[in-house]
Amino acid sequence: MSQRYALAFPADGLRASLSRMPEDARLRGDVPDGEPDWVRCDDLLDEPARLVRWRERLTGWLTETYPEATGIPERTPASWILSWYLHVPAFAGAMLLHHERRVPSLAPSALAFRIGGDRPHPDSVAVLGGGFHCLPTDPGSAHPRAVVAPDERTLGTVLRGRFVAHASLFIDVYGPMTRLGRRQLWAAATDALDNALWSAGRLGGTPEAEGAGIADAALVLESRFPPLTSASKLTSAPGADGRREWTRNRESCCFSYLLPAESECGGCPRIR
């Protein structure tokens, strides 16, 4: 963190970190009054019927988007909701690790998100808790809600553990509501975390920032940590213009290929 922040925030908290996030990250520290479609993660897990209604809303959107379909295969919206939900704790943790070297609480009670009005996906995320882990050099390490971690490897371990704990709670609730197997459920969790760490770097807008996101993914997912299904799968490969670029093969399938005129995504496990 820069000296400028150290001078401006001698013991700044998590809300200050969130105020410094890139605007297009759509990450905030509260649930705004009067805005519809915000849901708290713990409310969804405490009332699974709300997850059912969300999936039904997505199925309706897919039906409108693909009017030529004779029916929307159940696996497609089930998989999309799975990935969309897991993106919330993964993205919140990845962004704060990447930009601030801080790890917030990722418990369901500490997170909320807004479901978009057009496409019913999480288009904004709120981090509601105040506590965080940070490094000894963090200017907020004296904050009363801070827990100091000795090094970045420990921060990566904390992030992974908190994400897995949240994912476990969600999978226990959501899994029985779908026909998705347990490996598919945890493969989607692995994809969510690896992709979020990559995305946190890409939002920086430069190859150097993207490279830092790749390094974060290697830090957090340096090897396979069950129940996650793989280490980070980010790798460089020649692009269409011959230049090397970062890419990854997915662990899970989104089943979009079951929709009319769609095919498997790049990196889909079905075509490897």
pLDDT tens-place string over residues 60-94: 999 999 999 888 999 999 999 999 999 999 999 99
pLDDT of residue 11: 55
Bridge partners (DSSP) of residue 236 are 246
Residue 3 banded pLDDT, cuts 50, 70, 90:
very low
Q: Cβ atoms within 10 A of the Cβ of 236, count? A: 12
Maximal CA-CA distance, the chain: 61
pLDDT tens, position by position, 231-248: 999 998 877 777 778 889
For residue 113, how far is the Cα from the chain centroid? 11
pLDDT tens, position by position, 24-64: 999 999 999 888 899 999 999 999 999 999 999 999 999 99
pLDDT tens, position by position, 138-179: 999 999 999 999 999 999 999 999 999 999 999 999 999 999
For the chain, the average pLDDT equals: 92
- 228 versus 8: the higher-pLDDT residue is 228
Domain map of the chain by residue range? 3-271
Is residue 105 a contact partner of residue 93, using CB atoms and an 8 Å limit?
A: no
Average pLDDT over residues 190-213: 95
pTM attached to this predicted model: 0.93
Q: Residue 272, class by beta-carbon neighbours within 10 Å (0-12 exposed, 13-18 middle, 19+ buried)?
A: exposed
Statement: residue 196 has pLDDT above 80: yes
What Cα–Cα distance (Å) separates residue 121 from each residue in 61, 181, 250?
Answer: 11, 23, 20
Q: Say what percent of the chain tops pLDDT 70.
A: 96
Spell out a b/e string for 119-156, using b for 16 or more CB atoms within 10 Å of the CB, else e.
ebbbebbbbbbbebbbbeebbbbebeebeebeeeeebb
Q: Say what percent of the chain tops pLDDT 90.
A: 80
Q: Cβ atoms within 10 A of the Cβ of 224, count? A: 12
